[in-house]
Amino acid sequence: MFGNNIMLIAGPTASGKSALALRLAAEIGAEIVNADALQIYRDLSVLTARPSAQEEAAAPHHLFGVVDAAEAWSVGRWQAAALETLAAIATRGRPAVLVGGTGLYFSALTRGLADIPAVSHAQRDASTALFDQLGEAAFRDLLAPLDPVAEARIMAGDRQRLGRAHAVAVVTGRSLSAWQADTAAPLAAEAWRGVVLEPDRAVLYDRCDARLQTMLDHGALDEVAALAARGLDPALPALKAVGYRQFADHLDGRLSLDEALDAARQETRRYAKRQMTWFRNQTPDWPRIDALDGDGQFEQLTARFGTL
């Protein structure tokens, strides 16, 4: 359905993903598809570092800024939209480049989404409370006969995933791993190739800091003010954008601008670290690009995949 010309470019914020995707698209005549959970929202183009109008004019872009902040898109909703977009690109006979930092979006395409029955908040809370009561070692002993695959796979200290595996097994009578094993990947393995940008962490953090200052210089506070004025539910995904809460606190007089910027920098670094950890654990077999400049990243990409 999709051919074999889909490139997935993943990595943490400020690593150079968008520039690399645009350069690759120009080189091979590809169309770019967004795989970032926050860049789908139209209300925060600056704060989410969405491609500029000039960049979007250089190659066809899809699923960027298409959703109002009042909506809450799930992974499943994005998956459906992305698959529809990829199918349309394939009918035009063009390659596709998916780019973003949301690991679950890539997983939804390459592994699929398990149709797991809903587990109540009460059961999830009960499972994590049991983890806290027993301690990790004893909780793993309890989980092992229920879901030996999950117990062996989930990393030490991951209370949330261990608790979820236990809750699913208790509620459904079937292991989470069994549910996931029945899931078919929407993209066949031969249809795509993936790469992760993994720059030096210290350099990445410096880039994160510089990007926040650039955002301020280009109207981030105006964006935050306009969105805050709508009085939307703070639990909505768009309002979880890194930097939004800190700059909103500044606009409300709770933080000075310097304090808000410092807090946003810390949160951005934590976010980048979480992204790197996710990709390291969930995509260990994807090639890595560690070059820091655009030319070096493109050279490493072409060296790993040859003729794209």
Query: Which tens digits make up the pLDDT trace of 26-46?
Result: 999 999 999 999 999 999 999
pLDDT at 162: 93
Q: Which residue has the tokens 């990595």?
A: 11
> How many percent of the chain have pLDDT more than 70?
98
What mean pLDDT is reported for the chain?
93
What structural domains does the chain harbor? 6-112+185-305 (3.40.50.300), 121-181 (1.10.20.140)
Burial class (CB in 10 A: 0-12, 13-18, 19+), 256: exposed
Q: How many CB atoms lie within 10 A of CB 114?
A: 14
Indicate the SS3 state at residue 183.
coil
pLDDT for 19: 97
Beta strands in the chain (DSSP E): 6-10, 31-34, 61-62, 96-100, 192-197, 288-289
pLDDT of residue 307: 57
143-149: average pLDDT: 95
Residue 308: per-residue pLDDT: 57
Which tens digit of pLDDT belongs to each residue from 87-105? 999 999 999 999 999 999 9
β-pairing verdict for 31-34 and 288-289: unpaired
Q: What are phi and psi of 98, to 5 degrees?
A: -95, 135
Joined together, the tokens standing for residue 132 give 């806290």
Predicted local distance difference test score (pLDDT) of residue 35: 98
The whole-model pTM stands at 0.83
Whole-number pLDDT of residue 4: 60
pLDDT value at position 225? Answer: 98
